[in-house]
Structure 1
């Protein structure tokens, strides 16, 4: 009879699934109970041929660590080998240790015996558990692998363990925040007089109309401008007789009289009773505060104009995200009323203050608006690109286990060996996270079922902590 070599973890899985119910339906093995089947001495009561039981997975015919749940073939057309339940559970008797291996173990110091089921139970002397299985010896140096966890190919397949190589990429993470369209403060103009005046006539423009630079807005009469014009005409006549010119020209300029009006007085030698006041720039009329016949005091706003060919979008960025925003970062703006239209721009200014009520900071984006689609006070959805544009070592977000105090990844060392590694995280974005310390180029990290391996590592660490410092067999 071949003795059955069962690891503690494998036997635990069989017990959890119900050993009697599992084996009763395979190959007609009588199962009054697992202990009856094993026998009092732990021997097999049934002679089951190798490779019996259902197919649980398929493995590469060359022994490479490649597995599949379904039948498949290699690149050159050779089929994967089917692995049945008995083969995965290692029902063959383990090979006899060589003389060299036995001598090496004899030279090592025997520390203690551990429970074959993986339970936190050790013994200084050989013993059996409640099922009659021998406790396993633990020698000095068995923990040379440190935190490395070893799993069988079958368990890796059933657990869904999957790993990916660490890659060097540029991390970009869009910051999505609300924003509002605002006027470019540098493109707003006010039409006003610098002296008292009476409005003789108003051009047929209203709020919202577009005007061009030089278009007539109002015709007005100003006594102060008329007096300055008459003095300017006197200075011109005196200068024609050889007398020095006075300061009337400068006074007209100080009163804001357009240069073309001054040139007309100088040409015609006449002072107009009323003068035309024109638009100082292209734009739309934001305000019209003037009507015919009214008296306007010096400094009163007659019209308010704005050039909207270039517009601002002020985005409210939370204080926690502010560190990821930089001047010149790319920005995409979408209007909530027209989500299909996207405007591209860059961060032009980060305002040097945080709003106390909302804990946000305004970030200014300057956009071209040739079609006039962007209107002041419109709501917008702003997407700001973040990142420094430098490639960094990155892993998928699913590879990182965040315990709150530590960040861990599971390194795949190959041949079923896994090692937990504490890492330092960097920028997040695009479903990946940069690793500033803890991994290197060429490493592979587990991205699926890594919590199961981490739990296995914690169990191993707990068992190691139960080992007495000095145990004599």
Structure 2
């Protein structure tokens, strides 16, 4: 009996491990496989995370899938992606940075480049060679032809005086009369060549043609053909645009920051990439009528007449400056409620976010107080696209782990 029980015990001990292993395999086969669940987030609000597709409860955008298990704080882009996103970088270094006050201004005609063409003699406008405004004329170009009986009388007077001198060359009195008669013709804008032709022909010519004294654009035409004009009457106005005035408005409280001889930056609307340097030449001590504004003025060159009077311009008045600071273009810094950050290129095509502290800022640059070192390669265009790409791929704010 005892022998039988012993044999049974040995058999159970031998079979039990095999039965246990079989049971474990069967349980493992029946256990369902764990399926990784897809998660979705909002491209604009990464704090919104859902387990199924839908729309963002904040902005209404469609949720996009992302891999929440990927925790690396960097992005790797290919060459085509970098070119498509227009991602460019610069190596930061220490330089001077100035803060500016922006003033509203405008371009106006420089009076020193303006001339009024007037009639030197009374008479009738026989011919107008320029009959409309906006026409460009060159110095020496004929402008109008006038008939003047008074000029004919002066020419006859000079012919008689010249004949007397010819017949009595030693008479000082006749020589003085001839000089006086010649001077009258000169005052009526008769050239030496015209006076010589008058003496050679011996005939008076009541018609005289007047030419432009400067080059410019006809901005005003005051007469018509056939019209009688008096001596000194305005015929037309010529304006030269090779140099223009820049007038800027400034409040009296800000006038202390401006001084005659100070250099300021001028940016004409439409030519933001071509700023000009202007020296303040005049500060009007009187407020403009009906306003509480003063006016400053200077001149800028106008090559090829590309700018016209009346264009708007921005004048940037330097207020303060700092030496040896790290600065970046304003668009390189991404700001949100959690702070500011930039993107650093650590290797070709590999970008990482870095939290920074900003300092003084002007219209195009911002100083970096901390977070960067000289020599860092920073993304200056396409930074926001990197920010969006990070949110789409990681489903989190780049500053979350910084």
Structure 1 length-normalised TM: 0.44
Quick one: structure 1 residues 356 and 273, their matched pair in 2 at CA, closer, same or farther if it must change by over 3 Å?
A: closer
What does 1:82-121 correspond to in 2, within 5 Å?
Answer: none
Whether 2:102 is the aligned partner of 1:176: answer yes
Out of 221, 237, 253, the residue aligned to residue 304 of structure 1 is: 237
Is residue 244 from structure 1 mapped to residue 244 from structure 2 by the alignment?
Answer: no
Instruction: Kindly indicate whether the alpha-carbon contact (under 8 Å) linking 1:331 and 1:365 is maintained by their aligned counterparts in 2.
Output: no
User: C-alpha separation between the residues in 2 aligned to 1:301 and 1:237?
Assistant: 36
Deviation at residue 285 of structure 1 after TM alignment? 0.6
Extract unaligned runs of 5+ from structure 2. Answer: 1-94, 326-358, 363-368, 371-402
| 1:365–1:430 distance in 2 versus 1, CA, 3 Å | farther
Q: TM-score, normalised by structure 2?
A: 0.52
Q: How does 1:37-436 map to 2 (within 5 A)?
A: 172-241=98-167, 242=169, 243-246=174-177, 247-258=180-191, 260-355=193-288, 357-386=290-319, 430-431=360-361
More helix by share: 2
Matched-pair contact (CA < 8 Å) for 1:261–1:275: no
Q: Which has the larger share of strand?
A: 2
Distance 2:134 2:120 in 1: 25
RMSD across aligned positions (CA): 3.2
- Structure 1 distance, partners of 2:315, 2:304, is 20
Q: Is the 8 A contact 2:130 2:144 kept in 1?
A: no
What is the deviation of 1:171? Answer: 7.6
Measured in 1, the distance between the counterparts of 2:361 and 2:224 equals: 61
Q: CA deviation at 1:257?
A: 3.6
Q: CA distance change for structure 1 residues 384 and 258 in 2, over 3 Å: closer, same or farther?
A: farther
How many matched pairs?
A: 233
Pair 1:357–1:251, CA change in 2 (3 A): same
Structure 1 residue 174: deviation in Å? 1.7
* Inter-partner Cα distance in structure 2 for 1:313 and 1:192: 28
Quote the Cα distance in structure 1 between the aligned partners of 2:196 and 2:239: 28
Shift of 1:386: 4.2
